[in-house]
Each structure stands twice: as structure tokens, then as C-alpha cells.
Amino acid sequence: MIPHDGHGERWFDQEAGPVVRPYAMVKGRTLPNGGASFGLIDVVVATGEWPSEHFRPGPEHRRILGVCRRPTPIVDLTSEVDLPLGVVRVLLGDLVGEAMVRIVSAQRQRVPDQRLLRMVLDGLESL
């Protein structure tokens, strides 16, 4: 059944597919597991680890992992997977908890970390 506005006009066409609210993707959670906080310029890197038996990555988790094969700042990741920042942070919390990604914090370092600079340079070169 296609929703209508009461005057016979469609809200969206059939080609749009099902509409899923962002909070449904994260089962209503608004904070990452473990209360972790991630900054917009923190860099995410996939570790190549497999999930435990009790965790089944969803399609959004897999999209994030695909993007994070190369070091990616969270702000860019959010744009590339086309999800709201809050949803991405919750999904990242899941992946960090399973050791499938690691977050390199850019904000808490007093001096530039050469590894972080190398990851950023590698990311820029891959563009």
C-alpha cells in the first residue's frame, strides 16, 4: 500500500522502495555501546577481524566496513554511507566492540602522531 496525503497524491513513488527510519537501524539506541565517544575528525580503520558468533553485522555495518578499508575520518564516513552522524556513531560502537574497526583519535593528541599523518596522507593519495 502506498501512503497518500488524503487528496490522492502519493508521498513517494514505488521506485523509492521501503522507508526505514534511522533509529530502526540501530534499534532505538542513541549512544554507542560502552558509552564511547567519537569526534568528527577521528579516523576509522577496518581491522580485518571477524565478528564473534553472537554479532551479525547488518547492511549498514558492512557499508561502513567497506569504506573503512582505508583510513577515513568519521565526518567523511558519515557522508559516504549517507547516514546521520548519530546512527554512524552507534554503528561504530558496535564495530569497535567487536574489534572490527579501530578509532584513531585526532583530538586527544598533543603533538601530531606520525602514524595518523601517514594514514591521512595515504587516504588523500587514494582519492
Residue spans of the domains in the chain: they are: 14-126
**In angstroms, rounded to a whole number, what is the distance separating the alpha carbons of residues 92 and 16?**
27
Q: Is the pTM of this model over 0.85?
A: no
Backbone phi, psi, residue 76, to 5°: -70, -40
Assess contact for 88 and 54: CB atoms under 8 A: no
pLDDT of residue 127: 77
What are 100's three cell numbers? Answer: 572490527
Residue 17 has pLDDT above 60, yes or no: no
Q: Tell me the three state secondary structure of residue 34.
A: helix
Rounded to 5°, the CA angle 19-11-25 comes to 15
Q: How many CA atoms lie within 13 A of 27 on its CB side?
A: 5
pLDDT of residue 19: 60
Q: Look at residues 55, 85, 87, 50 and name the one whose alpha carbon lies nearest to residue 65.
A: 50
Residue length of the chain: 127
pLDDT of residue 1: 46
**Alpha helix locations (H) across the chain?**
22-25, 59-67, 74-81, 85-97, 114-126
**For 81-124, what is each residue's pLDDT tens digit?**
999 898 999 999 999 999 999 999 876 656 667 888 888 888 88
Residue 76 has pLDDT above 90, yes or no: yes
Mean pLDDT of 47-71: 92
Which amino acid, 57? P
